[in-house]
Chains A and B, each alone.
Chain A
Amino acid sequence: EPEVTQTPSHQVTQMGQEVILRCVPISNHLYFYWYRQILGQKVEFLVSFYNNEISEKSEIFDDQFSVERPDGSNFTLKIRSTKLEDSAMYFCASSEIGTNTDTQYFGPGTRLTVL
């Protein structure tokens, strides 16, 4: 069964450094999402992406964040200058048609630790 994959599984970085988290969505899916989950807290929506554009973003997704689909298969989340509070699990998800009732398939997540 096709699945969403994410790399790396764990990323450790120094505060102020840039990180790029990578995701490979399911191949025939058109809508892509990033979520984060700080340890012990709720999953939070960051951004949705369709047709090479951001569809919607939350208040968390400020100028430090950016997303890109660089080559037609990867979907990346870049954090320009990491802060301690960016430490979290970051989940990528994809869906086929992006309607409100479409199932989103989540990847296994990347654990980001900012020191």
Chain B
Amino acid sequence: KNQVEQSPQSLIILEGKNCTLQCNYTVSPFSNLRWYKQDTGRGPVSLTIMTFSENTKSNGRYTATLDADTKQSSLHITASQLSDSASYICVVILGYSSASKIIFGSGTRLSIRP
């Protein structure tokens, strides 16, 4: 069964600290993996997109890694800011055509405390 599992479910850290969010997936055929940030009551915003051949991709203070062998990805946030408080969703795309299957994780709810 195609699944995307994220951990932890929620996380609280102090402003300025770093954190790492995890995503494990069991999908086939894998096409690419995305991390989204979703503020409460808003639509998801794309942070990174990684294909099978990419190990790391950065977007400012966000760095995503992908290990296609172990089917794991992580999102590392450096020097957290209050505005980083949001849900972070891991999404895996299956297939290779434009009409592809899209599997969302449940998200990690990140809270940054001053």
Contacts and interface: CB of A to CB of B under 8 A. Distances in A.
B98 A50 contact: yes
Interface size class of A (residues with CB under 8 A): 20 to 34
Interface residues of B, number: 25
Contact of B43 (A42, A55, A56, A91): A91
B43 A93 contact: yes
Contacts of B62: none
Contact of B100 (A42, A56, A107): A56
For the complex of A and B, 5 pairs with smallest distance between CB atoms: A106-B43, A56-B99, A55-B99, A98-B98, A45-B102
Interface in A49-67: 50, 55-56
Given A42-B106, A42-B107, A99-B98, A108 B42 contact: yes
Interface of B: 31-32, 38, 41-46, 49, 51, 89, 93, 95-102, 104-107
Contact of A43 (B41, B89, B95): B89
Most interface-central of A42, A98, A99 (chain B CB within 10 A): A42
Nearest to B4: A42
A35 to B, nearest CB: 8
Contacts, number: 56
A99 B105 CA distance: 21
Contacts of B107: 42
Given A42-B104, A55-B98, A56-B100, A100 B43 contact: no
A75 interface: no
A101 B100 CA distance: 11
B60 to A, nearest CB: 16
Contacts of B101: 45, 56
Nearest to A103: B46
Contact of A101 (B32, B38, B41, B43): B32
Contacts of B99: 48, 55-56
Interface in A61-115: 89, 91, 93, 98-101, 103-109, 111
A58 to B, nearest CB: 8
A91 B44 CA distance: 9
